[in-house]
Each structure stands twice: as C-alpha cells, then as structure tokens.
Amino acid sequence: MPTHRRTFPGDPQELRAARNWIRTTLDGHPHCEDAALIVTELGTNALMHTASGDAAGTFRVAVTVSELTITIAVTDSGHAKTTPGVQHPPLTATHGRGLGMVAALADSVMVQGDESGRTVTAELFAQPGSEGQSC
C-alpha cells in the first residue's frame, strides 16, 4: 500500500493545491472527487481552527491507497481548544458543516491527538464495480 505525503503552507490558497495534489495522486480512481472534497474540508478546518492557519503554520496530508481503501489523514499544527466533531448548525449558519460532509462521504472518520496537534483520518472503502465519480 503506497502512502503519499505532502506538507502545505498554512495559507487558504494552498487548499486548491492540496485538492489538485489528491486528484493527481488518485488519477482515475472512482473516489477521487470524494477524496478531493474531504481533503479540502479537513484542510479548511485545520487552517480555521488551529495554528495551521498562522503565518508560519502548515497542515500535512497523507493518502494511502490500497485495492479496497483510500485513507486520507490531515494533521494540523495544534493549539485548538476543542476536539473536532460533527456539528448541527441552524440552516442559516454560514459554517459548521464541513466535518458532517466528511462523515457523510467517508465510511469512517477518526480523530486522534490533542491540543498540540490532531489528525483527522477519513476512510473510503472501494467496492467492486463502484461507480463513483473519477477525476
């Protein structure tokens, strides 16, 4: 199972680079677009809620591909006071749905770490004959 890793600077412009990197890495995979959305949402959370969004901050992305699974892990730079979790914002809220979207797309989501740095991992299970949208 190859694992691909990349560190991105803590700039919102880098979310596009992370999304494009995932698309290139998963070229043609049926879950490519789901993975691109997941890395965008997890990267956004890292930038908005942790030191990853500071001037010297970074966020790290790892993607492991096997015949049956795509595992996407995004690690932040820490200093968040709360643990990420699925929220249920009112319909008029302009944020708070990212991790809920990740949970809806992924087959499993795990959060590990503490305020010094957390990794959110999402797994997508490939099913034989799955007809996801490829990149």
Per-residue pLDDT of the chain (135 residues; tens, 9 = 90+): 789 999 999 999 999 999 999 999 998 889 999 999 999 999 999 998 899 999 999 999 999 999 899 999 999 999 875 666 666 555 665 565 567 889 889 999 999 998 899 999 999 997 655 555 566
Find the angle CA(83)-CA(48)-CA(107) to the nearest 5 degrees: 55
- HSE, side-chain direction, 13 A CA sphere, residue 52: 30
Radius of gyration of the chain from its Cα atoms, rounded to whole angstroms: 14
The reported pTM is 0.85
Domain 3-125 sits in CATH at 3.30.565.10
Cβ proximity of 30 and 130 under 8 Å: yes
Cβ proximity of 25 and 45 under 8 Å: no
